Amino acid sequence: MQNDEEAIKQNLIDAGCNEQFISQFMVLRSQQNTPEMLSLLAKHRKVILDCIHSEERQIYCLDYLVNKVKSTK
């Protein structure tokens, strides 16, 4: 069974955080610096969301081309 610290680290790994991010987060946690912890998590969330939006635009472009090709038959 994982302890709380191991569970948090694993969650950060699963969220795509790198070692530097995890180390920084764990330092903030040891300092009980909740506002900075939340800020760090929010920034990482924004990066992930920006990537999703970018890939979503790529999908829209592909869908447009698929429809364009189909309509030229």
Parent domain of 59: 4-71
pLDDT at 2: 67
Asked whether residue 1 carries a pLDDT value surpassing 70, the answer given is no
pTM for this prediction = 0.80
Average pLDDT of 54-65?
97
Q: How many domains does the chain have?
A: 1
Tokens read off for 25: 């987060």
